[in-house]
Structure 1
Amino acid sequence: MDRDDLLDRISDHVLAHGLIGLSLRPVAAAVGTSDRMLIYHFTSRDALVSAVVARTSERAVAQVEALPGAASVRSGVNRLWAAYQTQPLSRCLDVYCQAAATGLIGREPYLSDARASNAAWAAALRDYFMRCGASPRRVGRIVTLVDSALYGFHLDLTTDRPTELARGVDDLALAAQAIAG
């Protein structure tokens, strides 16, 4: 099994079981290898976790890139929110949130990978909102507002009612549409 295949298997495992508490021996057993092979391919647990967060972020970006444009920025925000609640995007976002919640994103070796993932994510959102009619001049503001807010709404799914969150997302969508002009 090469490094790429191994990373995909481990990423699938993390998507199914979560990132918090990830240990080398149990994950190695779950994907059919040894902890020594994980160290051989990734050098450390930190490097492995960083690679998994980057891989799941790549998968999330691919989901956004595959979204068709909407008739307006407002409907685009609502469509994006619907996508946040479906698989595999929802689980990919969960992995990033778990990494952030455990303090991994703000320090190396995660910081560099997180910055690269964030840049790719923002580019995918920019392209998506431009497909929804946002102007190149204003799309950056829309991405900043919507990205931060939807992550918060995504975290709130565990405690709040989806219908209440949908109303809040539509309020966000109205604000994004106002920015779009």
Structure 2
Amino acid sequence: MEEAVIAKDPQRRATWAEAATDYVLSHGLIGLSLRPLAAELGTSDRMLLYHFGSKDELVADVLRVSNDRSIAEVTALAPSPGLRDAVVDLWKVMEGDRCSRIYVEAAALGLFGSEPYASVVREANALWIGSLVGHLVRSGVERHLAERAAKVVDAAFMGFQLDLPLDVDTSARARAVADLAEAVSALA
């Protein structure tokens, strides 16, 4: 008996990538197993592999969707009145951004050269930095300064993100963000 051949459907893949991203946001990326994910999506692990080609390609799509969501939040942010305020406003977005958790997990795996993490994280980081630069420029910061500031802000925000689950003193974090904003504004 022949199995029915199901044509790959790019819309289904995109829909599943969105749903898989939601699943990973709830369950984490490290230790991701296809069977529970497939069950949550109402399909089988074989169908996921058929549409994505491999678990690595599925993970790459999840990372891209997650990054796109974060960039959309930054893009939707109203211009800030200046560099110092822009840093604080960007942190407000970043602090509540659940997608950054996936990025941090993928970046940790990418440090060891694991693929697709290393490549997708490099790609995501370039797009993310571009979104930070875009917000800073929309906030009146000259492009050359925005490019320098975005790198410093991104590095500090990653450190803040790593500390979020451990840090119970929110006033200390708020002071650190204000200190960062002050230091970055001194670049001008």
Same fold (TM over 0.5): yes
Range that drifts further, 23-32 or 130-139: 130-139
Deviations 1:50-96 (CA, angstroms, capped at 9, x unpaired): 1111110111111111111111111111111111222xxx2100000
Is residue 2:48 matched to residue 1:43?
A: no
Is residue 2:156 matched to residue 1:146?
A: no
Change (3 A) 1:17 1:97: same
Deviations 1:137-170 (CA, angstroms, capped at 9, x unpaired): 2111101100010111111111122210110111
Separation (CA, whole Å) in 2 of partners of 1:98 and 1:110: 9
Q: What pairs with 1:7-156 in structure 2 (closer than 5 Å)?
A: 7-86=17-96, 90-103=97-110, 106-156=113-163
Give unmatched runs, 5+ long, in structure 1.
none
In angstroms, what is the RMSD of aligned CA positions?
Answer: 1.6
Separation (CA, whole Å) in 2 of partners of 1:11 and 1:17: 10
Change (3 A) 1:84 1:149: same
Q: SS where residue 143 of structure 2 aligns?
A: coil
Match of 2:8 in 1: none
Q: SS where residue 79 of structure 2 aligns?
A: coil
Letter in 2 for 1:158: P
Q: SS where residue 108 of structure 1 aligns?
A: coil
Separation (CA, whole Å) in 2 of partners of 1:167 and 1:16: 29
| Residue pair 1:105, 1:114 contacting (<8 A) in 2 also | no
Separation (CA, whole Å) in 1 of partners of 2:147 and 2:137: 10
Give unmatched runs, 5+ long, in structure 2.
1-10
Range that drifts further, 77-86 or 26-35: 77-86
Give the length in aligned residue pairs: 177
Larger Rg: 2
Separation (CA, whole Å) in 2 of partners of 1:103 and 1:112: 8
Separation (CA, whole Å) in 1 of partners of 2:143 and 2:24: 36
| Residue pair 1:74, 1:174 contacting (<8 A) in 2 also | yes
TM-score, L = length of structure 2: 0.88
Separation (CA, whole Å) in 2 of partners of 1:20 and 1:153: 20
Higher RCO (Cα < 8 Å, 6 or more apart): 1
| Residue pair 2:60, 2:120 contacting (<8 A) in 1 also | yes
